[in-house]
Structure 1
């Protein structure tokens, strides 16, 4: 699919971007354009890969003119750029709106103008029945991407929705490990809190599945394992060999849920099981040919998909951390 193709990745210097680009380079593309606003991270990435097929472009998704230029002769576009931290988006909602909503609209318009074949938008579990501003902006972004398939163009637009990715910038894993080693304590918002987790490799697999199989208008979801955050902290404490580490309960932050959902009760009415690991949420609006394409896939047998259960055991959490490269 990507052989001899030109690919644009917005927000390409982030943790997801590194992993995605590393895998895309193995597909023999003509070139990959890394579009982001941070000069230093682009320089660092260029030195890391040292690959002539990587083209670096300074720009912000808020700037439609810059996106229009970057999209010239692009075949596929992965939209990763976003403001992602819940507290930041709660404190600065206008900034989150401009990047996550206006920026997504700019991506849509630039892709259509330049006849990009397919756009893959990266979303989050927080877009399902959102309780915070970050989730709300990503939910709107999903809706815009779905609706874009009704605009008169040949560009296909697909959403992929994931959960927390181990080891991304600001990941709870890094925070916990630093707290354990430097402070001998771990701060947890609530001891009952649960979250979905997946490795970066699984996240990229989801993106590529959406890119390859997406018809335009659907949301691909990976059915990720879940765990209690306190169990995750305790596994790290045990494996790092630190004694007398105190677990402190900090209280839930504004907009934060105790349990996340990947699939809301409303969405489950329109969701099919794509395979053992992936779900596909079909849109409520009518997109020609989409429902017919998925007509033979089974409906999901549950009303929602919550992080509350089933939970990983500590042994399974350890295995996940080893797979993610955090434990030897």
Structure 2
């Protein structure tokens, strides 16, 4: 019998990648997202016998009733607000969505999930230096405590580096601006970020999903150090652009180097997956 998998934030880059992954692995997927236009586009591309779009905000009571009705085997919570500068400038609103409403949602759906809940976190939660990372870390810690009270459902959090193909990523922004011959805004020439490709995320996900069956917080040990300046220069050259790099200074929540780059706080479990020790 096909497993029923429900994914929130399904219109995001990771959400859509997971839809494809589970369908390829013989599951039925229910995709929750408030972005109805993008959801409609996805539904036209994917076989309607194995993908059911759910145009709802995960915080709504209607969504909870829907989840209660379908009783999914697996629930993956990927919905979040993630733009770092907005998260700093509108901290109260982002905290409400990313922490308060997320906690309520996850605890509310637990009675209706048969096997496993996976919270999509971020490497930003490792020694967080911005509001987004702190918000992800708070939910991780909440789920650790919740897991101790709910032994009949596997509860996990998964961290991974920035995926370069993500919607709204610096790659897409710089690529578009360079094609238009507009300045590329760079916060600092020295800024670097741990980044990965979608295909590497899926390989790591497959390893994690099939082999790590213990509650806890995990990180996908993938990614390479990316110089944002080098990325900008590469796109200018690739697009034969007249764009110039414009240094605008660090914004709130920015850091020159991802803290994950120099950590040895991980105990390897498999090639791609490590358990997190805070």
Q: What TM-score, normalized to structure 1? A: 0.78
Check the 8 A contact 2:196/2:222 in 1, yes or no: no
Aligned counterparts of 1:114 and 1:263: Cα–Cα separation in 2: 38
Residues 1:47 and 2:34 are matched in the alignment: no
**Structure 1 residues 211 and 276, CA gap change in structure 2 (3 angstroms):** closer
Q: Equivalent residue for 1:95?
A: 93
**Structure 1 residues 148 and 81, CA gap change in structure 2 (3 angstroms):** same
Aligned counterparts of 1:143 and 1:65: Cα–Cα separation in 2: 27
Q: Equivalent residue for 1:28?
A: 26
Q: Equivalent residue for 1:320?
A: none
**Structure 1 residues 155 and 68, CA gap change in structure 2 (3 angstroms):** farther
The aligned runs of 1:16-165 (5 Å cut-off) are 16-29=14-27, 31-63=28-60, 66-71=63-68, 72-165=70-163
Alpha-carbon offset, residue 152 of structure 1 = 3.2
Q: Equivalent residue for 2:231?
A: 232
Encode CA deviations 1:170-214: one digit per residue, 9 max, x unaligned: 111111111111134321110000001111122233333332223
Check the 8 A contact 1:68/1:114 in 2, yes or no: no
Alpha-carbon offset, residue 10 of structure 1 = 0.6
Q: Equivalent residue for 1:294?
A: none
Alpha-carbon offset, residue 59 of structure 1 = 2.3
Q: Equivalent residue for 1:313?
A: none
Aligned counterparts of 1:55 and 1:145: Cα–Cα separation in 2: 27
Aligned counterparts of 1:206 and 1:276: Cα–Cα separation in 2: 8
Which runs of 5 or more residues in structure 1 are unaligned? 285-328
Encode CA deviations 1:225-271: one digit per residue, 9 max, x unaligned: 112110111122222233x4311111001111111123786x82xx3
Alpha-carbon offset, residue 106 of structure 1 = 2.9
Check the 8 A contact 1:120/1:160 in 2, yes or no: yes
Encode CA deviations 1:111-167: one digit per residue, 9 max, x unaligned: 421143111111112111112211111111111222221013411111111121112
Aligned counterparts of 1:83 and 1:234: Cα–Cα separation in 2: 29
Q: Equivalent residue for 2:240?
A: 241
Q: Equivalent residue for 1:217?
A: 216
Encode CA deviations 1:5-38: one digit per residue, 9 max, x unaligned: 0000011111111111112111111x21111112
**Structure 1 residues 98 and 205, CA gap change in structure 2 (3 angstroms):** farther
Alpha-carbon offset, residue 65 of structure 1 = 5.7
Encode CA deviations 1:278-310: one digit per residue, 9 max, x unaligned: 32214x6xxxxxxxxxxxxxxxxxxxxxxxxxx
Picking from 254, 257, 260, the partner of 2:258 is 260
Give the root-mean-square deviation of aligned CA atoms. 2.1
Q: Equivalent residue for 2:169?
A: 171
**Structure 1 residues 138 and 19, CA gap change in structure 2 (3 angstroms):** same
Q: What TM-score, normalized to structure 2? A: 0.91
Check the 8 A contact 2:6/2:74 in 1, yes or no: yes
What is the DSSP-based 3-state SS (H/G/I as helix, E as strand, rest coil) of the residue aligned with 1:51?
coil
**Structure 1 residues 217 and 263, CA gap change in structure 2 (3 angstroms):** farther
Check the 8 A contact 2:187/2:247 in 1, yes or no: yes
What is the DSSP-based 3-state SS (H/G/I as helix, E as strand, rest coil) of the residue aligned with 2:274?
strand
Check the 8 A contact 2:208/2:273 in 1, yes or no: no
